[in-house]
Amino acid sequence: MSKQKLADGLPSRRSDCPIAAALDLVGDKWSLLLIRDIGLLDKHRNKDFQSASEAIPSNILADRLKRMTAYGLLEKRPYQDRPPRYEYHLTRQGRELLPVLRKLALWSEKNLAGVKIPRAAKAPTQDRDVD
């Protein structure tokens, strides 16, 4: 799965448009939802992601974690030795996607019927999100 160049580095870009370039990395059905889980919902481990309300398939989950780690958006960090277990955190690059997600959430709240942003959504921590 994911025939795209993973081992090496980034995927080849469709164009030099910044929007297209970003979508080449996270423009699919699940990636931004994982960024949300990690950055806004404080989920970090495989089972946490599976328990999200959207039920991502486990193979897709594994693939996306692998990909986004390769892209430099996530960092895989061990939290115990035996059995070896890892949790996923946002890199600076990944963290800086959070303002985009917030914008998107605001759009939904304003434009989609019955959508409310939960107050639970963790407020910005380190990153000043003035814009």
- Alpha-carbon span 102 to 86, nearest angstrom: 27
The interface region with DNA, picked from 61-69, 92-100, 109-117, 119-127 by CB under 7 A, is: 61-69
H or E segment to which residue 27 belongs: none
- Alpha-carbon span 54 to 57, nearest angstrom: 9
Asked whether position 41 contacts DNA by CB under 7 A, the answer is no
Q: How far is the CB of 42 from a copy of itself (least distance, A)?
A: 15
List of residues contacting a copy of itself (CB under 8 A): 14-23, 27-29, 32-33, 36, 52-54, 93, 96-97, 99-101, 103-112, 114-117, 131
- Alpha-carbon span 55 to 61, nearest angstrom: 10
Site for DNA in 62-101 (CB under 7 A): 62-63, 65-66, 82-87
Phi-psi domain of 93 (left: phi exceeds 0; alpha: psi -120 through 50; beta: other): alpha
Residue 62 interacting entry, from DNA, a copy of itself, none, C-beta within 5 to 8 Å by type: DNA
